[in-house]
Amino acid sequence: MDATQNAARQPVRMRGRSYVAFVFSPVVPIVSWLEEIDATLARSPGFFTGKPVVLDLSAVDLSQAAITHLVGSLDQRNIRILGIEGVDEAKLGGNLPPLLTGGRACIVAQTEPQAAQAKATANTNTNTGIKAKSPSLLLDSPVRSGQSIVFAEGDVTVLGSVGSGAEIVAGGSIHVYGTLRGRAMAGINGNSSARIFCQKIEAELLAIDGYYQTAEQIDEGLRNRPAQAWLEGESLRITALN
């Protein structure tokens, strides 16, 4: 409202962004749990550097002083706590990190990079799932019969055709700049907004988020034409692109 009343003032812009956080669940005795952390750090120094870390205290019953001490101990190991879960808010006062709720579990690849490789791994981003932008896979040659391309992390683009008896499985959308004769399965991780695009449709099977159609069900009138498939509620819709 302020912005409309006083045009000279810039409204504060806020954007949402999600990151995958590591969640530590300390167990008693805290001393030996910290030793475990030390052992992990000895194997891969800098493993937690630059990554958001959340402390889940639901498994232990700690006083405010103990929590302060634990956060301090982790801070000494260069692990800064972003927030705390599973604890009474009243215990978190003063300089302690805020209480977080509404977290959802997700898969974090079990890659423990060696010290020397740590940087390279971070660059290539092998399944760490921390990259903010969703990655995509580009194939610049035809996908042949019998080949199976599985890329759960994001979109797949094929410059060429997908042969009969070949399959593309993608976490995101699938783009085929050629004839799609094989099977295309998009949005396999529950991504219902994924789509399938192809320059010519002769597919054996199309699926998005588990909802599929076989060649028999695909409208004959679409054959050999550019088409896209998307999910409308629980039905798979396929239409010509032009």
Partner 1 sequence: MAKVLVVTSGKGGVGKTTSTAALGAALAQTGQSVVVIDFDVGLRNLDLVMGAERRVVFDLINVVQGVAKLQQALIRDKRLENLWLLPASQTRDKDALTEEGVRRVIADLKTKFDWILCDSPAGIERGATLAMRYADEAIIVTNPEVSSVRDSDRIIGMLDSKTVRAERGERVEKHLLVTRYDAARAARGEMLSIDDILEILATPLLGIVPESQDVLKASNVGCPVTLNNTGSAPARAYIDAVRRLMGETVSMTVPVERKGLMDRLLRRRAA
**Binding region for partner 1 (CB under 8 A):** 141-147, 160-161, 163-166, 179, 181
C-alpha R_g of the chain: 25
Closest distance of CB 142 from partner 1, Å: 5
Calpha distance 210→223 (Å, rounded): 22
Other Cβ atoms less than 10 A from the Cβ of 223: the count is 13
- Token pair for residue 123? 């660059």
Between 96 and 158, CB nearer to partner 1? 158
Shortest distance, position 216 Cβ to partner 1, whole Å: 17
For residue 161, the minimal CB distance to partner 1 (Å) is 6
What phi and psi values does residue 171 have, to the nearest 5 degrees? -75, -30
Cα separation, 135 vs 154, whole angstroms = 5
Closest separation between CB of residue 140 and partner 1, Å?
Answer: 12
Nearer to partner 1, 27 or 159 (CB): 159
Comparison of 129 and 142: residue with beta carbon closer to partner 1: 142
- Neighbouring CB atoms inside 10 A of 9's CB total 9
Q: How far is the CB of 164 from partner 1 (least distance, A)?
A: 5
**Burial track 54-85 (b if 16+ CB lie within 10 A, e otherwise):** bbbbeebebeeeebbebbeebeeeebebebbb
Go through 184-210 and write b for each residue having 16 or more CB atoms within 10 A of its CB, e for each that does not. bbbbbeebeebbbbbbbbbbbbbbbbe
